[in-house]
Structure formats: C-alpha cells, structure tokens
Structure 1
Amino acid sequence: MKKNNQSSGPDYKKIYMDIIHLKYPEKQQYCIKILSKDKLSATDIIRLNKIIFSLHSETTFSLNQKHRCYDKPAILEILDYQKKHNLNNTQVSKHFKISRNTLAKWKKKFLV
C-alpha cells in the first residue's frame, strides 16, 4: 500500500542536492535559488542540468540529452514559455535543446 505523503516520481530536489554536495560543491551557489523551491518544475530541472553538467562537459550533456522524457505539464510549460516570450520554434528549440519537429508535434497535439 502506498503512503499518502509519497509522490509517484523521483525526488529530484534530493537527487540534485546530493549530486551538488558530493561532486560539485563549487556550483552550489548557482543552484541554491532553484533548490530552495518546494517543488521543482521541468524547467527547473533543465536549468539545474545546464548549471551542473553543461559546464562540466558538452559531450556528456549531449549524450544525456538523448534520454530526456517530458510529461504533459513539462510540455505545456515549455509551450507557455514560448508564448510568453514570443519566440518561434527555432529559438525555443535552441533554448531547451530539443528538436523543432518535436515542438511542432507538441503544438499540434496540445494547442489545437
């Protein structure tokens, strides 16, 4: 039986705090504002990844990029970001490092 206080997904806040504490303590000052939130959104997790891993190695970052998975709230947040900042698909794809085709499919599926 599942306890009521447990969520179904991983505790990203604890995972990233452990990574920073154990491997990258010098990057803690850059991540503290994001990690101080009660709940991390998909864009918060993307920002943490950029701060921690993209500066470490661009090759590692690009390999990890292939294994990203976005849930519906994350997709809607990215599409909302695009609308809020008045960006086209190319600009958003560069910002979040996702395919323009993926963005177009998301728009057809979720914004029609």
Structure 2
Amino acid sequence: MKMNKPNYKLIYSDIINEKYPSKKKQCSNFLNKDELTVLDVININRIIFGSTEVNAKENQKFKSYDQNTISRILTYQKENKFTNSQTAIEFKMSRNTLTSWKKKYSIK
C-alpha cells in the first residue's frame, strides 16, 4: 500500500497567501519548484514561522527524513567539514541521529 505525501507546496502557498503575504518573496524560490524536499519544507517553515526554542523542541518530535534528505545532510556535513555537533545545531537535530545515519549508510 503506497502512502500519499502531503502537497506541501499547496499547503505553504495557501498559508503564505492567506496569513503571511509579506513573506511570499522570501519563499518564492521554494514555491517555484515542482516538488519540495524535506529540507525545503524545514526552510520554508523557518521563514514563515521563525524559530523559537519552545516550537523547535516541540516540532522536533515530528520530523521525518527520507533517504535523499539524509544523504544531502551528510554530504553537507562532509563538504563543510562539520562535526556531528555542528551539523546537529545547523539542522536542529540530535547528534545521535547523525551517528546512526553514518553507521547505517557507511559514510565516514
């Protein structure tokens, strides 16, 4: 059984048009794409709603990453020569998550 993904492009377009029209220009690069990646969704969410400590901790429970996004995060870490701690801060995630991804996907 195949699960349908939410249409984030439509969801965020509606949110921006109805509640945050002033942020339309900042999000236009993302909304002009054919399909949004998980990282795109995270970035649009930051632009629209900002990031507060309370929201970040609460939202962290609901994050989910596909294999493409995991690969992009690990590549970003490698290209920028970041430690797990630096990468975890950048993407607001656990260092342990990065470590387990590296083990699972054999990236050193």
TM range, smaller chain = 0.7 to 0.9
User: What's the counterpart of residue 80 of structure 2?
Assistant: 85
- Give the deviation of 1:104 after TM superposition: 0.4
From 88, 103, 108, the equivalent of 2:103 is 108
User: What's the counterpart of residue 73 of structure 1?
Assistant: 68
- Give the deviation of 1:58 after TM superposition: 4.2
From 22, 25, 38, the equivalent of 1:42 is 38
Structure 2's unaligned 5+ residue stretches are none
Query: Residues 7-18 of structure 1: matches in 2 within 5 Å?
Result: 8-18=4-14
Give TM-score scaled by structure 1 length: 0.82
Q: Is the 8 A contact 1:54 1:61 kept in 2?
A: no
- Structure 2 counterpart of 1:44, which letter? D
User: What's the counterpart of residue 53 of structure 1?
Assistant: 49
> What is the CA–CA distance in structure 1 between the aligned matches of 2:57 and 2:16, rounded to whole Å?
20
RMSD: 2.0
Give TM-score scaled by structure 2 length: 0.85
> What is the CA–CA distance in structure 1 between the aligned matches of 2:13 and 2:4, rounded to whole Å?
19
- Bigger drift between 42-51 and 90-99 goes to 42-51
- Give the deviation of 1:65 after TM superposition: 2.1
Runs of 4+ in 1 over 3 A off after TM superposition: none
**Equivalences, count:** 106
1:7-65 superposed Cα distances (whole Å, 9 cap, x missing partner): 8311111111111112211211111111111121221111111111225x542343122
Structure 1's unaligned 5+ residue stretches are none
> What is the CA–CA distance in structure 2 between the aligned matches of 1:13 and 1:83, rounded to whole Å?
29
Identity over aligned pairs, percent: 46
> What is the CA–CA distance in structure 2 between the aligned matches of 1:17 and 1:61, rounded to whole Å?
22
